[in-house]
Structures are given as structure tokens and as C-alpha cells.
Amino acid sequence: MLGFTFTKGNFRAIYLVALCCIGSFLFAYDTGIVGGVLTLAAFERDFRYSKAQATNINSNCVSILQAGAFFGCFLIWPITARFGRRWSIVLSSLVFCLGGILQVVNTHSIGAFYAGRVISGFGVGAATVLVPMFSAEMAPKNMRGQLGSCFQLFFALGVCVSYWVNYGVQNHIASGTKQWQIPIGLQLVPGGVLGLGMLLVKESVRWLAKTGRNEEALQSLIWVRGGDSPEVQAEFAEIQAGLEEEFRATEGVTWRELLLPANRFRVFIIITMQLGVQLTGNTSLAYYAPQIFAAVGAGNSSLFVTGFFGVVKVVAVSTFCLFVVGRVGRKTAFMGGAAAMGTFMLIIAIIVAKDPPTNHITGPAIAAIIMVYCEAAAYNMSWGPVSWLYLGEIFPTRIREFGIAIGAAAQWLFNFMLSQITPHAVKNLGWRTFLMFCVFNYALVAYAYFVLRETSGKTLEEMEEVFGSTETAADLEGARAEVERYKAAQGDKGYEVEHVDH
């Protein structure tokens, strides 16, 4: 049912990806917890701002982390190119924890709290570059879809945990400083686990091979695949051959390579795809869930309803990772998800327009809440997990750091824009906010059909053929021939190398 067996190698791949995806959990928990903390009277008292300032404080506290993350995406690139993925993730964890400590200290200064958010943003932004890159470079082909989707699974888990923590502190801890310090301080636990856990895994195979450390690269591949075998040796030969062809095609990587036609198209896809992720409206729902549910009629139960909103996300993305991602193409997921989200947003707009929300949950309010749940499920079975998977797999090794950094930075830039806009839109537009997201989602169906390329079932080396890169695609046969020469040299003719011969 899962499409793979639990071998030693598969277990190590799952462990490695789950560990580095704690970076996604951190991002989700941090943004989700702030939305609830900002509704606490204790936080408002300690940081000494008025209710009239609340809307601006809300948007700033959420969006300023995105601003830090935007710059973190670019700052981490030279570090990961020089020192590798593993130590770069350790560094991003340390930076995040430093920012978290500054946030949890009661300085009575909203400016100091902002500073902590920015510093944590640097760490989170770096992690969003490193996690899909590390996952794509280490995961076996037959599991890359499931493991790549773990980024969204951990995001959903982080959001879910943050919602229930918010609900718990509001209802079981007396109003005071500890009421907001506990939820914010808890983020230091996964932050520390991420950094310390990276000390127990191996460096990226492709990064080691790219830097000429072939023996270490082979040992890393053997470790993550659970032992040596002819298939592992053949996979390593293919990786080496692919890297050699890329180096031969354009010696000395520079930013100018992004201007090659095939690469320019990939950059365009990544930037527009990340804009599309924000235009679905789901990120806005995640950040301001209590406010959103109040807008559709949850009344005084908005935090409780928000908690189940997180559960829906976890169930949806888990279902997608386990049963769906390996069975449908990337384009199918993008188109189907956008169509479903557009329809649910339209229904929400109609319900809220006809039956404005009150302080009590009514029949129409229940229907609107269910539609929000359905919209979240559709997102977490399409654009949520697939966008990060797509980002990690479409760029060749030579410019993967460049490409993923641009894609992650674009995500944070558009994230910043929407997080600034959403609280004001909900306050001023009301039900028209959902109608706006409905139009955006229907437009994304056409975008996915006409612009995106199908990448499901392709190795990272074969992406050159998918995107028509004549610099390396023309020599892919040479890479296959290199693997065949290795097989012949080993005297083992009796197995198929799926990575090359499918």
C-alpha cells in the first residue's frame, strides 16, 4: 500500500528526512503560536500596546518573521555551498533558538520582540532552503515523493500542536506572563532537537560528490541506503556521471547559468508557483485561524474550532504522503487541489454573505467551518506538500542551491505580503476575502495546466530532459553508458538499474 518496504535503508532515509523536516515544524509552530498569543490579554499588557494598535501589531508580529526568513534564504546559500547541508542546518537551528530566547524574555518592549522574530526568521528561512534540498539529494527515487511531502506533514503537525497549545494555555493557565511565555518557549525544544540530531546523520551524497570528496560521498550513500550493493554502486556511478556531464557542459558555476533558457524557465516556475501557494489563501487561514473562524461565525469557540482545524491538516497531509503522492502526477495534484479550494472558498463566501457571523455558532456557521476544513484538506493534499517537493527536484545539482534559495525566498516574500494584507482584508472586506481567494484558485488551475511540467517518476538527473536543457540532456546517454560500463566491470549483468533503465 505504501509503495515500498521497510528495509534498513528506507528506515534511515525516513529518519533523516523526518529529522531535517523539524525545520518545517518549527516554522509552522512559530507562526501558528503567534496568532494565538496575540489574542491573549496578558501579552497585550506585558508589551504595553492598546487594542487600537492590535491589528498592526498582529500583522507585524507574523510578517516580520517572513522578512527575516527572506534574507535568511540568501545568506545561507554561500554557507551551504562551502560547508555542506548538515552543518548549515545545525547553524540555522542555533540562530532560530537565539531568536526564540529573545522572544520568550519579558522585555516589555515590542521592539525587542520584533528583533527576536527577525532573528528566528533568519534560521527558519535557511531551513526552508536546506530541508527540501537535503531531502531530495538523500531520498531514494521510489520514496522521494513520500519523503519530500514530509515537509508539509511536519508543517501541518507544527500548526496543529500550536493551535492546541494556544487553546490549553488560554483555558488552563491564569492570565499572566507565563500564559504567553510557555507556548513561545516550547519552540526551543524542537529547535534544539533539529541541531543536535543533525550530528547523527551523514552529509549529502551529491554535495560531497560535487566537491570532489567521492569516497565520503560513497560511504554516505551506503549509509543512507542501509548497506553496499551493486544497485548502490550503480546509483553512485550515475550520480558521478551526471555531475561530470554538468561540469563539462558549463565549467564554473555562476548566477549567469540561471539565465540559460531551460534554467530561466525553471526560475520563472518556482517564483510563480510560490506566489500561487500564497494565493490559494491557505497560508492566511493558518496564520490567522482564530480571527478567520470568528469571521465565519465560530464566535467564542474560535480557538477550540481552530484546534480541530489543525487536526484536519495533519490527517489530510498524512493521507497524501502515504497513499496519494506516489499514485498521481504533480500536475494532477496542482490542478485538482486548486479547483477544489476555489469551490470551497466560493461556498464560504456565499454562506458568510447570506448569514453574517454572530457570537454564537449557528447552522450556517457550522457549514462555513466545515468548508474551511475541506479547503485546508484540499491544500494539504496538493499545493502544500507538492510545491516543496517540486522545488527540491526540478533544478540540476550545479544550480540547486541557487534555484532553491530563489524559490524559498520568493515564498517568504509573498508570505510576507499576504500576512500583511490578510488581517486588514478580513476586517474590511469580510466575506469578499473568500471570494477573492476563490478567483485566485480557479486561475491557478489554468496556470498548472499550461505552465508546469510533469516531474513524477523522474530522477534528479533526468530533469534536464524534462526541461529541455540541451547543455546536459544531450549527454544523458553518456551517463547511462557509464553505468553500463561499471556493471560490465563488476561482471554482474543480472539486475536492472531502475534509476537509468526505466
Q: How far apart are CA 199 and CA 343, in angstroms?
A: 46
Per-residue model confidence (pLDDT) at position 473: 44
Per residue in 72-83, pLDDT tens?
A: 888 888 898 889
Per-residue model confidence (pLDDT) at position 495: 39
Reported as a pLDDT band with limits 50, 70 and 90, residue 112 is very high
The answer on pLDDT for 407 being more than 80 is: yes
Q: Residue 454 has which C-alpha cell?
A: 510533469
- What's the average model confidence in pLDDT over 383-412? 81
Domain boundaries, the chain: 8-201+250-468, 203-249+470-502
The answer on pLDDT for 323 being more than 60 is: yes
- What's the average model confidence in pLDDT over 248-255? 60
- Which of 25-39, 112-126, 181-195 is predicted least confidently? 25-39
Per-residue model confidence (pLDDT) at position 498: 40
- What's the average model confidence in pLDDT over 473-493? 51
Per-residue model confidence (pLDDT) at position 377: 92
The answer on pLDDT for 489 being more than 50 is: yes
- What's the average model confidence in pLDDT over 43-66? 82
Reported as a pLDDT band with limits 50, 70 and 90, residue 257 is confident
The percent of residues in the chain predicted with pLDDT above 70, rounded, is: 84
Q: What's the DSSP call for residue 213?
A: -
Domain 8-201+250-468 is of which CATH architecture? Up-down Bundle (1.20)
Residues 233-252 as b/e (b if ≥16 CB within 10 A, e otherwise) read: bbbbbbbbbbbebbeebbee
The answer on pLDDT for 195 being more than 80 is: yes
Q: Name the more confident of 58 and 141.
A: 58
Torsion of CA 36, 42, 44, 48, to 10 degrees: -150
Q: How much is the mean pLDDT over the chain?
A: 81
Does residue 74 contact residue 409 with C-beta atoms inside 8 Å?
yes
Per-residue model confidence (pLDDT) at position 66: 81
- What's the average model confidence in pLDDT over 380-406? 82
Does residue 441 contact residue 339 with C-beta atoms inside 8 Å?
yes
Does residue 62 contact residue 34 with C-beta atoms inside 8 Å?
yes
Q: How far apart are CA 375 and CA 383, in angstroms?
A: 11
- What's the average model confidence in pLDDT over 325-334? 85
Does residue 154 contact residue 22 with C-beta atoms inside 8 Å?
yes
The answer on pLDDT for 249 being more than 60 is: no
Q: How far apart are CA 427 and CA 422, in angstroms?
A: 8
Reported as a pLDDT band with limits 50, 70 and 90, residue 288 is low
The answer on pLDDT for 457 being more than 80 is: no
Residues 411-427 as b/e (b if ≥16 CB within 10 A, e otherwise) read: bbbbbbebbbbbbebbe
SS3 content of the chain, % helix, strand, coil (to 5): 80, 0, 20
Per-residue model confidence (pLDDT) at position 340: 96
The answer on pLDDT for 281 being more than 70 is: yes
Q: Which has the closest alpha carbon to 17: 138, 127, 124, 126?
A: 138
Per residue in 126-175, pLDDT tens?
A: 887 787 778 777 877 666 666 666 776 787 788 889 888 988 998 889 98
- What's the average model confidence in pLDDT over 252-264? 74
Q: How far apart are CA 414 and CA 332, in angstroms?
A: 24
The percent of residues in the chain predicted with pLDDT above 90, rounded, is: 23
> In residues, how long is the chain?
502
Per-residue model confidence (pLDDT) at position 2: 44
Per-residue model confidence (pLDDT) at position 379: 93
The answer on pLDDT for 330 being more than 70 is: yes
The answer on pLDDT for 42 being more than 70 is: yes
